[in-house]
Structure 1
């Protein structure tokens, strides 16, 4: 029996550049001419000639993402085209639509992105150029991409973005960096706008459709960050509750961050474990739980300073504050191990295959970890670090407090059936 249900046409997502209609491939023009409704930003819709595109024009509502399901439910059965800037799947609306509607409902017709245009103008290799979008994102996100000698393209939110980028570079010790503002890339009005260094940037806002090209130069006294875990302790604001550099590096190696995974950092302290987890990959996620509001605010500042303002900070005591959190892939417990029910709550929240790592320096917590090691297996070890210090006219070793660490992967059935 042949079904008589109507076939829903795919949503066609059309990339368009600053050159508008003239720059579109014929396949994109055909899709727009055939659309009964065209959805896009006001600037993009204005690029379409009325004589060619006669379908209903619908500007995106604000906020955009929550409105997507309802909007497309109302357009069901109609032939719909969506306009996107450049390549829809590169920091564009294409990703949102794929997540909300399903990739199988989309037909995507890409256009050269502003990044491709910029690298072509600058002679930069695309694959060796970092890209940071500040469209709808905290400008502090850029801090994580700053390394001496690195080239970075910043996707601007508006005409004020270049000045905000210059200010952040000065604050982070990269005032010597060079900036070039590229405007209306790919269009008839394309031009290189303001040029200068972050240290003396005083340029007025230009065209709102712009991209900022950075050649990063660190100031002489800037503390060098690193791609691997174990950032210098002085990069963190702290009251002393900080997992020190060498133990932190070893702990992150045990936590083993992977793209897309969510970490619970319980007993956040200064936030260093969660922050360096997020720095491992831009798709990593983390929640830092800290009962002290002063420390929680400090974690937020540290996260912004080190380029991961996306860190979610929850102020509250565990285990009570864990109840409403999304299920973790990995749990790190850096404090409060002896709080009643904490280990049990973290263990219960982990799915099979999830990982748990706990550090402690006290005998009471060490005894607890030893018991859990006996019940669930894993690895129990002690980390000891000593630093060379002056001893009179000589040099000797000063031992830091040893850290006991238990790490384990949760199996479907533990040693005692738990």
Structure 2
């Protein structure tokens, strides 16, 4: 008996569609939708198709992402068209389908961001785009800088109110806001411009299909947070366990974050190193390990307030709490250096090319770093910072405790006998 052959993989085409529905589609997209045996999309998108699109209609379940491989397998061998809002490859389902199928055929439509920029007269290359679809509003905080323009992709009708509340809470209440609804459709509408401070009073929730346009204005007296590491110490809630501003900037320079990289921040304290690592690029990721539950909760609050709510906070002692974490690109050890096996565990977890930076102010830990430097190489640096303070009627220097820092990169091709 000849064994049954597996069904061929599904032929998938992703079709972008806007609020103007069928009327706004080019003929190439219409042809694909007419020919599809299976039409997959959100209920709202499926309702935009006319009866001449006769394929079986399948609405995405929730949560969507885990359902993608299951639905594709269920319809293997059939001609599938997946509907997506606007440009499928811009914060759309096109990414998930590309991960599953390799390279689906994509027929894009103008995105809501393109429509918004056109309506506002904003050059798109000068605009920050932040999506809050399935993501916390706190992400927006990392993009707030005086004079910058931001387009926020909304999850629903409540998102503009969340955006206004966050702007006010973070010292950007004077920012100018407009909400653009049903872009490209017959019911397109743009609200009158107002400030975030006035939004809740003047604007009830509107259409759920919207994008929020923000022109950032910082309130007088609100703290200024720059785009590079070394935020003011006052930006953090802390109990004294905080890598201070100048040491923090030097530490991040040694860690050298790059887009997409992952950091372990061991002995998190207030989480400042991990927070500022993640603020360098939206794709940077980090886990911070802190044994004290009170401090761990404080780290989570700092991460949310400073715009990186995705920071992973692990509560427990290192090195035991490091077990099971994803492989890091870099490790920072800011506390607990004398814990048995900690430094060796961190070193062994690094892949070739990974970086390790450790700071200490004690002689005991400094001796450990000196021994590690002899074994693995790298650079030992002592960093001393002094602040000018009043001395009677004059001014003098108050020296902070010097910090010994070891920074090392793991060899890509270690020589024979290395680390012995």
TM-score (norm 1): 0.96
Q: Separation in 1 of the partners of 2:29 and 2:386? A: 65
The aligned runs of 1:271-290 (5 Å cut-off) are 271-290=271-290
Q: Separation in 2 of the partners of 1:390 and 1:35? A: 78
Asked if structure 2 preserves the Cα contact closer than 8 Å seen for 1:377 and 1:415, the reply is: no
Q: Give 4+ residue runs of structure 1 displaced > 2 Å after superposition.
A: 4-10, 412-418
Task: Give a deviation string over 1:129-185, Cα, whole Å, max 9, x none.
Answer: 111100000000010111111111111100011111111111000111111010000
- Answering whether residue 110 of structure 2 is matched by residue 103 of structure 1, we say no
Two-structure CA RMSD over aligned residues (Å): 1.3
Q: Name the SS for the 2:30 alignment partner.
A: helix
Shift of residue 26 of structure 1?
1.1
Q: What is the match of residue 233 of structure 2?
A: 233
Task: Give a deviation string over 1:254-285, Cα, whole Å, max 9, x none.
Answer: 10000111000000000000000000001111
- Answering whether residue 333 of structure 2 is matched by residue 340 of structure 1, we say no
Counterpart selection for 1:117 from 115, 118, 122: 115
Asked if structure 1 preserves the Cα contact closer than 8 Å seen for 2:11 and 2:77, the reply is: no
Distance 1:415 1:271, change over 3 A: farther
Q: What is the match of residue 376 of structure 1?
A: 376
Q: What is the match of residue 155 of structure 1?
A: 153
Q: What is the match of residue 40 of structure 1?
A: 41
Q: Separation in 2 of the partners of 1:5 and 1:156? A: 41
Q: Name the SS for the 2:389 alignment partner.
A: strand
Shift of residue 414 of structure 1?
6.3
Task: Give a deviation string over 1:2-45, Cα, whole Å, max 9, x none.
Answer: xx997645310111000001111111111111111011111111
- Answering whether residue 368 of structure 2 is matched by residue 359 of structure 1, we say no
Q: What is the match of residue 326 of structure 2?
A: 326
Q: Name the SS for the 1:148 alignment partner.
A: coil
Task: Give a deviation string over 1:218-256, Cα, whole Å, max 9, x none.
Answer: 000111111111001100001010000011001101100
Asked if structure 2 preserves the Cα contact closer than 8 Å seen for 1:375 and 1:414, the reply is: no
Task: Give a deviation string over 1:281-310, Cα, whole Å, max 9, x none.
Answer: 011110011110100000000001110001
Q: Name the SS for the 1:205 alignment partner.
A: coil
Asked if structure 2 preserves the Cα contact closer than 8 Å seen for 1:262 and 1:328, the reply is: yes
Give the number of equivalent residue pairs.
412
Asked if structure 1 preserves the Cα contact closer than 8 Å seen for 2:38 and 2:78, the reply is: yes
Q: Name the SS for the 2:197 alignment partner.
A: coil
Q: Separation in 1 of the partners of 2:165 and 2:417? A: 57
Q: Separation in 2 of the partners of 1:371 and 1:69? A: 50
